[in-house]
Structure 1
Amino acid sequence: MERKIFIRNLIFSMAAPSLLISACTNNEVAQTDAVQTYTCPMHPQVMQEFPGKCPVCGMDLVPFDRTNKEKFLTLNENQQLLANITTAVIGESSLNSSSYLNGHLVVNPDQTNFVSSRLSGRIETLYVKETGVQVKKGQALYKLYSEQLLSLQQDYLLMEAQAEKLSSNTRFRELANASRQKLLLYGQTAGQIDRLKKDGAVQPYVTYLAPSSGSVSELMVVEGQYVDEGSVLMRLEDYSRLWVEADIYPSEASSIKIGSKLKVIVAGWESEPLDMLVQFIAPAMASGGQVLQLRGTIENRNNWQPGLQAKVLLPYDSNSEELTLPVDAVIRDGKTEHVWIETKQNIFEPRKVVTGKGSADRVEIKEGLVKGDRVVVTGAYLLYSEYVLKKGEHPVSV
């Protein structure tokens, strides 16, 4: 019996270390599994402890070590070469003499004419039946049948007859002249009235002519339609001069005044900049926005259509002591702005910055950097993506 107990104790003492090692190993695996987390490379706020797809963009989630709290990335020279990462020491320099404002061409309402019916009646003939047609000033637009016009012509002939019979009475001549003026106001031309006086035959039809040259942008009537006096029939737009409207921030508007001369570049005609006089700056920001509207007029030299994109060159005084960087060196994600600094050889850290005015290719750094910092100027976005992929969080706090 004692022999059996001895053998059992001997076996237990030999197996105990193995069980202990196995338990420790299982514990380490459990701990490793506990910290294994998956995230989305594009949306680091998405984190879970099992593989899957991002609920925001549908990308496959990737594993990352959430216990790694280091706020820097280490890349060797080969990795930097593959990622096209280059750096430059930030120093004092000046921006270009102008920046771009995004704008577009707009119809000038001062050169828009609404053609309305001066009499009530029926559209007998419509000479322009579709939009987009170019018309010239004095061109026939439509012919109207109007009993009201017939009555006015009869009154005019009667006044003229009385004025001729009673030529010694100036009162009848004044009435005849007033009747003639009324016909002119209702759209009859002087030639038509003279012909009416000569022939003595009333004509219930009147042909209306285009008050200006332009393009028919809207047509609101068809042949045979009855219209009331004052009804709008069509809209003519003259594109020989166009408005340029652009959005401008209040800080930029302080350097612009009404009457200032700016350069405008229309998309596709970059080699032909035009001069524009600023005619209007909105006194208040648009509802729901943080920008003001700037407006000016340009000559339409190349038959440009309203809606074309245009750039307005905004000049400003440049400070030779300002810190500037290439535009691509600053990462903007809608909430923060940051750059990447090479603090030591092959070690890169993110740093939050505050930007100021900018030009087409450079931007002013107002806060966050000092002269002499070595900043990543190309490949910054790759560093940002790599950081999010490895750390599962944004490089800088909001």
Structure 2
Amino acid sequence: MKRNWKSNIVMTALFLLLLFAAACNKNGTHAEHDTYTCPMHPTVIQDRPGTCPVCGMDLVRKARPGEAVEITEDLARLIKSPNETVVASIRTIKGEYKTMPVRIEAQGVVTYDTRNIFTIPSRTGGRLEQVFIKYPFQSVKKGQKVAEIYSPELLTAQRELLFLLENDAQNEPLINGAKQRLQLLGATESQIKTLIQRKEPQNTFAIYSPYDGYVIAETQQAPVAPTAAPVSSTAAPGGMSDGMGSTSASSSTQSTTTTAAPGNLIREGSYVTSGQTLFKVVNTSALLVELNLPSAMANAIKKGTDVKLDFGDGEVQQATVDFVQPFFNEGQEFLTVRVYTKRSDKLHIGHLVRARLAGSSVEALWIPREALLDLGVDKVVFIRDKKVLKPKKVVVGARTGDVVEIRQGLSSSDEIAANAQYLVDSESFIKTQK
């Protein structure tokens, strides 16, 4: 009886222990019950696997408490921002350190040297009865009539000379003085002879140009070459037919000429005073071609550099660079290059000209153009770092043919992507390395 009693107590204790373990297991299972949600719509939550009723994507299980994802080296590289690294297995190249001749194509404009500007003044005050110069940059010849003026002072001087000739013809000092006064007022010798022959004063006197050239307005400035236009380059050593006849797409999109407001020329009916400038005349020998090149070309372009000029009429002229000046305007740095031409008599101010410059050879690190990504202000290449490509800012120099000079930011041992454009889509934003 004692053994049976002890056995019953043991069996009862075991039974209670099993019930307690089952209850604990049931509570633990309920605590760790899984939930599933949609990656695109977090508000969708279910207690079993399935699909999202909004987008149809498979639901994924939420992480249980205490669960953590192991971050491996490959996973850490992939979860980086895509604007910092690019994972790709594309062809890479290395820059080549060599000497390359620079051939530059650019657009310029026919302008003039402001040091060779002459004026046609009015020698006397009066009213302009006729003006034969109608628009700026109109060509004039020496001795050409440019205006006719009515001047009371000139009319009085004519009458004085005629009075002396009629009443005191032997008084040569007075007669010569009257003639000299007419000359000082702008009358020519032929006009004085005509006056003496006719013995009748003229109401208007003609004003003639003493120079050959082009007329410009009083406040007008010289045209300047395009500053915003990109410069295209080529390494082809051939003649002008392999590029000068057509403009590249990059250089033709922004090839506008910057010209100051032309101002107004003096018109008929205007009153002028003694010594007032009627017209300004630019001497034909002062015409030149002005080019604006990127500042990166400073090492390749010097005084005496050969230039081929195409004026658009099928004729190509050989010339040389006469003046090179660094210039800064509206946040842009460039070189102003002036070229004097021999055919100035056939040129017109403001005429666009295509030019090809044979710059000196440049010894530097060169990479293909496709390997360079132009972001506007910054220039970027993609450098291989283990299994990824990282963008890095570089400083470029001259461009010739299909290669670009790299001045800073890259060494000859660096591997870079052969085609930088392939790594970037239209919505990407590149963070460059310093």
CA distance in 1, matches of 2:378, 2:192: 74
Of 405, 414, 417, which aligns to 1:364?
405
Aligned to 2:226: none
Aligned to 1:138: 143
CA distance in 2, matches of 1:113, 1:295: 21
2:191 alignment partner AA: Q
Deviation at 1:280, TM superposition (A): 6.4
CA distance in 2, matches of 1:373, 1:270: 46
**Contact kept in structure 1, 2:94 and 2:367, CA below 8 Å:** no
Max Rg structure: 2
Aligned to 1:394: 430
CA distance in 2, matches of 1:132, 1:204: 30
- CA separation of 1:336 and 1:267: change in aligned 2, threshold 3 A: farther
Aligned to 2:184: 185
2:34 alignment partner AA: S
Q: How many residues align?
A: 336
The residue matched to 1:222 in structure 2 has which SS?
coil
Of 282, 289, 313, which aligns to 2:357?
313
- CA separation of 1:66 and 1:371: change in aligned 2, threshold 3 A: closer
The residue matched to 2:424 in structure 1 has which SS?
helix
Of 86, 90, 94, which aligns to 1:73?
86
**Contact kept in structure 2, 1:103 and 1:312, CA below 8 Å:** no
Deviation at 1:253, TM superposition (A): 4.8
**Contact kept in structure 2, 1:91 and 1:372, CA below 8 Å:** no
CA distance in 1, matches of 2:190, 2:417: 78
CA distance in 2, matches of 1:114, 1:12: 111
Aligned to 1:355: 396
Of 318, 321, 324, which aligns to 2:366?
324
Aligned to 2:422: 382
2:421 alignment partner AA: Y
- CA separation of 1:276 and 1:153: change in aligned 2, threshold 3 A: farther
- CA separation of 1:133 and 1:100: change in aligned 2, threshold 3 A: closer
The residue matched to 2:425 in structure 1 has which SS?
helix
**Contact kept in structure 2, 1:214 and 1:238, CA below 8 Å:** yes
Query: What are the Cα deviations for residues 98-118 of structure 1, in whole angstroms up to 9, with x where unaligned?
Result: 445664332444565544322
Which shows bigger deviation, 322-331 or 123-132? 123-132
**Contact kept in structure 2, 1:95 and 1:363, CA below 8 Å:** no
TM-score by length of structure 1 reads 0.64
CA distance in 1, matches of 2:176, 2:130: 30
Q: Does 1:195 align with 2:194?
A: yes
Q: Does 1:245 align with 2:290?
A: yes
The residue matched to 1:202 in structure 2 has which SS?
coil
Q: Does 1:296 align with 2:339?
A: yes
Deviation at 1:363, TM superposition (A): 2.0
**Contact kept in structure 1, 2:392 and 2:433, CA below 8 Å:** no
Query: What are the Cα deviations for residues 223-258 of structure 1, in whole angstroms up to 9, with x where unaligned?
Result: 333322233444555667633333457775577666
Of 379, 382, 389, which aligns to 1:337?
379
Query: What are the Cα deviations for residues 62-120 of structure 1, in whole angstroms up to 9, with x where unaligned?
Result: xxx994258543346xxx6xxxxx65443233222444566433244456554432221
1:394 alignment partner AA: I
**Contact kept in structure 2, 1:384 and 1:395, CA below 8 Å:** no
1:340 alignment partner AA: F
Structure 2, unpaired ranges of 5+: 1-17, 45-76, 218-263
Structure 1, unpaired ranges of 5+: 1-5, 34-64, 81-85, 167-171
**Contact kept in structure 2, 1:107 and 1:306, CA below 8 Å:** no
TM-score by length of structure 2 reads 0.60
Which shows bigger deviation, 137-146 or 98-107? 98-107
Aligned to 1:54: none
**Contact kept in structure 2, 1:93 and 1:323, CA below 8 Å:** yes
The residue matched to 1:366 in structure 2 has which SS?
strand
Q: What percent of counterpart residues are identical?
A: 22
Deviation at 1:146, TM superposition (A): 1.1
Of 106, 116, 121, which aligns to 2:126?
121
Q: Please list, as runs of the form range in 1=range in 2, the aligned pairs for 1:5-154 lying within 5 A after superposition.
A: 14=26, 17=29, 20-22=32-34, 25=36, 67-69=79-81, 72-75=85-88, 87-99=92-104, 103-109=108-114, 112-129=117-134, 134-154=139-159
**Contact kept in structure 2, 1:122 and 1:224, CA below 8 Å:** yes
CA distance in 2, matches of 1:29, 1:150: 97
The residue matched to 1:323 in structure 2 has which SS?
strand
2:405 alignment partner AA: E
Deviation at 1:375, TM superposition (A): 3.5
**Contact kept in structure 1, 2:397 and 2:407, CA below 8 Å:** yes
- CA separation of 1:154 and 1:385: change in aligned 2, threshold 3 A: same
**Contact kept in structure 1, 2:143 and 2:209, CA below 8 Å:** yes
**Contact kept in structure 2, 1:339 and 1:375, CA below 8 Å:** yes
CA distance in 2, matches of 1:21, 1:104: 80
Query: What are the Cα deviations for residues 350-398 of structure 1, in whole angstroms up to 9, with x where unaligned?
Result: 3443334443543222344443554334x31231338x74xxx524235
Of 219, 229, 253, which aligns to 2:274?
229
Which shows bigger deviation, 309-318 or 117-126? 309-318
Deviation at 1:275, TM superposition (A): 0.6
The residue matched to 1:397 in structure 2 has which SS?
coil
Query: What are the Cα deviations for residues 197-241 of structure 1, in whole angstroms up to 9, with x where unaligned?
Result: 233322232012233445555453333333222334445556676
CA distance in 1, matches of 2:292, 2:206: 45
Aligned to 2:316: 272
